[in-house]
Amino acid sequence: MTKPVQTLKTIAQKLGVSTATISNAFSRPDQLSATLREKILAACAEVGYMGPNKAAQSLRKGSSGIIAVVLSDSLEYMVSDPVASQFLKGVATELERNKLNLLLFSGSAASLDSIADFVDGFICYGAPRNLALVEELKRARKRVLTVDFDLPERPSVNIDNEQAAYEVARRVLTPVSRATVLGLRLIDSDTSGPVGDTPMWDNESSIAHRRLDGYLRAAAEAGVSLSNQQIWHIPVSSQYFAEAAALSALQQQPRPDVLLCMSDLIALSAIRVALAQGLRIPQDVKIVGFDGIEEGVRYNPSLTSVWQFSDAKGRAAVQAFLADSDQKQWLPYEIRQGESC
In degrees, to the nearest 5, what angle opens at C-alpha 170 toward C-alphas 226 and 236?
Answer: 60
Decide the pairing of beta strands 334-336 and 304-307. Answer: antiparallel
* Residue 115, φ and ψ in degrees, nearest 5: -125, -10
Averaged pLDDT, 107-117:
86
pTM to 2 decimal places: 0.80
Q: Which residue has the higher pLDDT, 147 or 200?
A: 147
C-alpha–C-alpha distance, residues 7 and 323, integer Å: 38
C-alpha–C-alpha distance, residues 222 and 216, integer Å: 10
C-alpha–C-alpha distance, residues 19 and 133, integer Å: 40
Instruction: For each of the domains in the chain, give its residue range(s) and CATH number, in order of start.
Output: 8-52 (1.10.260.40), 61-158 (3.40.50.2300), 161-307 (3.40.50.2300)
User: 47-86, pLDDT tens digit by residue?
Assistant: 777 776 655 555 555 577 999 999 988 888 888 889 999 9
DSSP state of 61: H
Whether the predicted pLDDT of 3 surpasses 90:
no
Averaged pLDDT, 100-105:
94
What is the 3-class SS of 228-263, one letter each residue? HHHEEEECCCCHHHHHHHHHHHHCCCCCCCEEEECC
pLDDT of residue 61: 53
The contacts of residue 232 (CB under 8 Å, 6+ apart) are: 180, 181, 182, 183, 192, 193, 194, 195, 245, 248, 249
Decide the pairing of beta strands 258-261 and 179-184. Answer: parallel
89, amino acid identity: K
C-alpha–C-alpha distance, residues 279 and 277, integer Å: 6
C-alpha–C-alpha distance, residues 261 and 266, integer Å: 6
DSSP state of 127: -
Contacts 24+ apart (CB under 8 A), 51-58: 51/26, 51/27, 52/8, 52/23, 52/26, 52/27, 55/117, 55/118, 57/27, 58/118
173, amino acid identity: L
User: 193-246, pLDDT tens digit by residue?
Assistant: 999 998 887 666 788 999 999 999 999 999 999 999 999 999 988 899 999 999
